[in-house]
């Protein structure tokens, strides 16, 4: 199949590959699944019955566990998913039994600036359109379960406002005394809808609800998505849903979904989501898709369940962590691995010449605008200076006790001298380094990377966490800020400081993990600070509690749970061929 990504769009390559793709049932069998462990969704999609599969394979030997992270990206993204899938294909070319494990894309970025998260060029997963838009409905289920909770919460506020205690008692209800100014969640929609960040609801008479300020968050930032990512089984997921804190009472008591008696119904919406989805690369390797993106505002990892299955059914399980190592890998390291008990065999840091030039002082990279020629012509000086950002991420991974593999995700405009200089710097700072041409050449182009990963994975590492769960919350935050982000220290708003002290005094909250919320466009909290910023303090403006997922969530800087839609969104290019039903323009 002769496909040139320099000429064809990603969706055109995917469409051509889909004409020759394996039936998904064949992919499942080749992966090692039994027929009763696979749930077909048509010819090209499926789910894995997690309970039947795990009960059979849990004690099987564990394959090598590979995490893919990156340097701080440009707003265009630097091909982390593309590299993940390219590495899967490269290991496949070397005859290895390999499984990929990635996250389901959110409709927000798919129809906005970033486009699909299916990979790109000749390193993609297929079928592209259902993967990018609907898959088997997990995000819809999360959205509905989340909004059902909001319905229960807002209805309870209305009824408690309108009814006295005797009337509530006749309904079998005890007054929760919810403070309408202290709701912990918002409504959910899976689009980048900045106009819904702040709204007023309940306008009208008393039958139209209780009037109050409200808003929306993007669906994949819901605590339910985090619960799906970290749950070990259905029982665990059900219990975590019941522990979700959705509001505070006027006396400061936590109000949970169990208090609202909506946790069981939410779990009913979510019950099918526990089973990982199955697709394939364009070269036919199995790829598990489970849980969602946005490591800047969520955990940003695929599920523990998918990794537990994948590591038992392969020699190599290749997964990815959202955004750069300061965010995605830090959460993989200190949250996901702690919850799962899995230890990475190797960690890949994706770097591009383009991003390094930006961090070295190159012109601004703006979505929808042409790249300055500095990014398409040789400029060793910008690359060298930008490697300060790469070095910071190498040091972060090394602090986990794992020697990283730097992958230079090669663009066809990169020059040999630029690539050689990156290799010199990466190796001088203790990393393996490999060039990979997977975007242009598929698995064949990723063989050098695959060999480097195999070498790294064969080494014994000294994996350990950055902090233990006995470490006080503010000390954890400071350790992450200083040792991962490079800050001089941490500052708190009055609100954040009060919450930090309250959570430190709460024995249950003190046991929870720490899931930072921070921009992905800088090592700091300020997206305009590129490279490796020095001499700054990390400002914590709020602290949230995701007690169901098991996190305390410090919010740094001006980060929002609802992204905005850009001026040149991807949906402008997407259409349907009315004669065939084919979706065109997806990228």
Residue 361 confidence class, pLDDT cut points 50, 70, 90: very high
Report how far apart the first and last C-alpha atoms of the chain are (Å, whole number): 20
Check whether 1 has a pLDDT greater than 70. Answer: no
Q: pTM for this one?
A: 0.95
- As a whole number of angstroms, the distance between CA 564 and CA 114 comes to 12
Query: How confident is the model at residue 510, as a pLDDT?
Result: 82
Active-site positions read 80, 82, 103, 114, 295, 323, 411, 439
| Alpha carbon distances (Å) from 583 to 103, 128, 246, 569 | 22, 10, 39, 17
Check whether 358 has a pLDDT greater than 90. Answer: yes
- As a whole number of angstroms, the distance between CA 35 and CA 28 comes to 8
Query: How confident is the model at residue 281, as a pLDDT?
Result: 98
- As a whole number of angstroms, the distance between CA 161 and CA 557 comes to 36
Which phi and psi angles does 347 have, rounded to 5°? Answer: -130, 125
How distant is the alpha carbon of residue 97 from its chain centre?
Answer: 25
Beta-carbon neighbour count of residue 134 at 10 Å? 14
Are residues 64 and 315 in contact, defined by beta-carbon separation less than 8 angstroms? yes
Give pLDDT tens digits for 496-511: 999 999 999 998 888 8
Write out the two tokens for 333.
């390291």
CATH classification code of 473-556: 3.10.410.10
Domain boundary assignment for the chain? 138-272, 473-556
Query: How confident is the model at residue 430, as a pLDDT?
Result: 97
Residue 91 confidence class, pLDDT cut points 50, 70, 90: very high
- As a whole number of angstroms, the distance between CA 103 and CA 20 comes to 24
Residue 89 confidence class, pLDDT cut points 50, 70, 90: very high
Query: How confident is the model at residue 558, as a pLDDT?
Result: 84
Give pLDDT tens digits for 453-486: 999 999 999 999 999 999 999 999 999 999 999 9
Tell me the mean pLDDT in the region 134-140. Answer: 95
Q: How is domain 138-272 classified at the architecture level of CATH? A: 2-Layer Sandwich (3.30)
By residue count, the chain amounts to 587
């Amino acid at each position: 199949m002769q496909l040139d990504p320099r000429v064809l769009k990603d969706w055109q390559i995917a469409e051509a590959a889909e004409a020759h793709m394996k039936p998904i049932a064949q992919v499942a069998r080749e992966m090692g699944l039994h027929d009763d462990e696979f749930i077909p969704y048509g010819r090209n999609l499926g789910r894995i019955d997690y309970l039947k599969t795990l009960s059979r394979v849990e004690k099987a030997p564990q394959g090598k566990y590979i995490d893919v992270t990156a340097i701080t990206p440009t707003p265009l993204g630097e091909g982390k998913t593309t590299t993940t899938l390219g590495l899967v294909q490269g290991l496949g070319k070397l005859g290895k039994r390999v499984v990929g494990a990635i996250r389901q894309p959110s409709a927000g970025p798919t129809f906005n600036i970033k486009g699909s998260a299916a990979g790109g060029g000749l390193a993609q997963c297929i079928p592209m359109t259902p993967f990018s838009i609907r898959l088997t409905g997990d995000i819809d289920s999360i959205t509905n379960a989340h909004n059902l909770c909001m319905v229960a919460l807002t209805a309870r506020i209305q009824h408690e406002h309108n009814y006295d205690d005797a009337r509530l008692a006749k309904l079998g209800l005890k007054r929760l005394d919810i403070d309408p100014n202290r709701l912990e969640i918002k409504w959910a929609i899976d689009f980048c809808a900045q106009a819904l960040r702040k709204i007023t609801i309940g306008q009208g008479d008393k039958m139209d609800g209780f009037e109050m300020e409200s808003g929306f968050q993007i669906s994949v930032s819901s605590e339910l998505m985090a619960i799906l990512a970290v749950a070990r089984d259905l029982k665990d997921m059900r219990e975590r849903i019941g522990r979700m804190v959705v509001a505070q009472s006027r006396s400061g008591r936590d109000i949970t979904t169990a208090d609202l008696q909506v946790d069981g119904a939410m779990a009913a919406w979510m019950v099918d989501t526990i089973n990982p989805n199955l697709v394939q690369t364009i070269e036919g390797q199995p790829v598990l898709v489970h849980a969602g993106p946005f490591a800047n505002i969520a955990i940003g990892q695929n599920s523990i369940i998918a990794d537990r299955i994948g590591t038992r059914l392969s020699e190599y399980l290749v997964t990815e962590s959202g955004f750069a190592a300061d965010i995605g890998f830090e959460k993989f390291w200190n949250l996901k691995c702690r919850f799962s008990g899995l230890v990475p065999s190797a960690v890949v840091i994706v770097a591009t010449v383009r991003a390094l030039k930006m961090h070295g002082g190159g012109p601004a990279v703006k979505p929808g605008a042409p790249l300055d020629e500095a990014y398409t012509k040789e400029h060793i000086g910008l690359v060298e200076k930008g490697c300060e950002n790469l070095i910071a991420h190498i040091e972060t991974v090394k602090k986990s006790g794992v020697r990283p593999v730097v992958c230079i995700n090669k663009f066809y405009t990169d020059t040999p001298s630029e690539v050689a200089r990156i290799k010199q710097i990466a190796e001088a700072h203790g990393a393996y380094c490999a060039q990979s041409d997977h975007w242009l050449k598929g698995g064949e182009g990723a063989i050098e990377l695959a060999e480097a990963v195999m070498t790294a994975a064969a080494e014994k590492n000294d994996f350990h966490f950055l902090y233990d769960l006995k470490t006080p919350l503010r000390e954890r935050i400071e350790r992450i800020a200083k040792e991962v982000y490079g800050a001089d220290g941490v500052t708190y708003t009055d609100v954040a400081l009060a919450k930090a002290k309250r959570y430190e005094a709460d024995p249950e909250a003190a046991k929870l993990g720490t899931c930072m919320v921070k921009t992905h466009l800088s090592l700091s909290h300020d997206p305009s600070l590129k490279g490796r910023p020095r001499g700054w303090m990390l400002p914590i403006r709020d602290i949230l509690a995701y007690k169901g997922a098991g996190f305390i969530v410090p919010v740094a800087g001006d980060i929002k749970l609802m992204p905005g839609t850009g001026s040149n969104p991807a949906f402008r290019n997407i259409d349907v061929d009315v004669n065939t039903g084919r979706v065109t323009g997806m990228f």
